[in-house]
């Protein structure tokens, strides 16, 4: 006699219960909001009291799907949504109507080279082979928007690899760029949860010139490492001249608000080749060494 095999589950799956609930006979009792299944009641889920549940859902959904996609680690790309690709940079200058607008357009054109560097770096890191268990490493991950983010996703697509886009609901719609892998395109309501997913799998971060959003993401990461909440990793600030112009790092040391050693938490670089070589040196001889 063979051993009995118990069933995997005894409760009906939630999907079946939801389908059954939809067939309920209409009556004054069954058509009220109180009678809806809680997980099908959008008005209930959007109550202020349910914010902790929505936090949990927004943390859990990408985590489960990225696990199922066997994405073990990512290479995160931060940077401006306003820097044009070189082919479109001159159009900004031509469209400028004032001297101030022209100066801004020229500054953006000068930084357009970083679109190409972001795209090139993404091509390089995307070619790291999966490990023995089939888990993928250094998968390109961006904010899913235009400019530097677009370049990163585009670089991965150039070499036939998938990439992640972590988009956010904004007052003015920011659609995912066309190069994000559709099955890895996520949308967030909470900035905090989005930033957490940027870092949960990050093993290297490229920080290109950017504004408030880039500052927010990059300096939160530096703070997490400085305070020991996150282990050190390669953090690559592209454009030494730009960053030293907009942030006086040495002044922070001189003022005593950071330690001299805190400046070692990141490194400056100018090119994709330089950045990838640094990451390879950083992980050389470790179990996490990328396929350089």
> pLDDT, tens digit, for every residue of 91-118?
989 999 999 999 999 999 999 999 999 9
Task: Identify the CATH number of the domain defined by range 50-83+115-282.
Answer: 3.40.50.450
pLDDT at 51 over 90: yes
pTM: 0.93
Token couple for 9: 């589950």
pLDDT at 57 over 90: yes
Q: What is the pLDDT of residue 168?
A: 95
Q: What is the pLDDT of residue 157?
A: 98
Domain ranges of the chain: 50-83+115-282
Q: What is the pLDDT of residue 215?
A: 98
pLDDT at 34 over 90: yes
159: confidence class by pLDDT, cuts 50, 70, 90: very high
Burial of 125 (0-12, 13-18, 19+ CB in 10 A): buried
pLDDT tens readout for residues 243-286: 999 999 999 999 999 999 999 999 999 999 999 999 999 999 76
Pick 7 or 269 by higher pLDDT.
269
Q: Are 74 and 161 in contact (CB under 8 A)?
A: no
SS3 label, residue 274: helix
Backbone angles phi, psi at 269, to 5 degrees: -155, 165
Q: What is the pLDDT of residue 140?
A: 98
pLDDT tens readout for residues 180-189: 999 999 999 9
pLDDT at 288 over 90: no
pLDDT at 55 over 90: yes
Q: What is the pLDDT of residue 279?
A: 97
Q: How far is it, in rounded angstroms, from Cα 82 to Cα 93? A: 14
């Amino acid at each position: 006699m063979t051993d009995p095999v118990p069933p995997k589950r005894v409760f009906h799956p939630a999907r079946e219960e939801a389908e059954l609930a939809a067939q309920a006979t209409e009556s004054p009792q069954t058509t009220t909001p109180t009678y809806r299944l809680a997980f099908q009641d959008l008005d209930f889920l959007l109550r202020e009291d349910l914010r902790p549940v929505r936090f949990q859902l927004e943390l859990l959904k990408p985590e489960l799907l990225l696990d199922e996609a066997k994405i073990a680690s990512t290479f995160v790309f931060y940077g401006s949504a306003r820097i044009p690709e070189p082919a479109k940079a001159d159009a900004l200058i031509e469209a400028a109507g004032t001297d101030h607008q022209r100066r801004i357009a020229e500054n953006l054109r000068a930084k357009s080279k970083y679109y190409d560097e972001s795209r090139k770096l993404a091509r390089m890191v995307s070619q790291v082979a999966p490990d023995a268990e089939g888990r993928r490493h250094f998968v390109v991950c961006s904010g899913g928007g235009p400019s530097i983010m677009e370049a990163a996703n585009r670089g991965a697509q150039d070499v036939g690899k998938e990439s992640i886009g972590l988009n956010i609901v904004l007052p003015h719609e920011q659609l995912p760029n066309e190069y994000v892998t559709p099955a890895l395109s996520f949308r967030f309501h909470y900035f905090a949860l989005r930033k957490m997913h940027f870092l949960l799998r990050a093993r290297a971060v490229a920080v290109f010139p950017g504004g408030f959003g880039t500052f927010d993401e990059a300096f939160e990461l530096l703070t997490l490492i400085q305070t020991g909440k996150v282990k050190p990793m390669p953090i690559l600030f592209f454009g030494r001249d730009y960053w030293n112009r907009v942030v006086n790092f040495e002044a922070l040391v001189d003022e005593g608000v950071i330690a001299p050693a805190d400046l070692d938490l990141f490194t400056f670089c100018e090119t994709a080749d330089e950045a990838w070589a640094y990451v390879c040196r950083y992980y050389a001889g470790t179990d996490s060494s990328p396929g350089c």
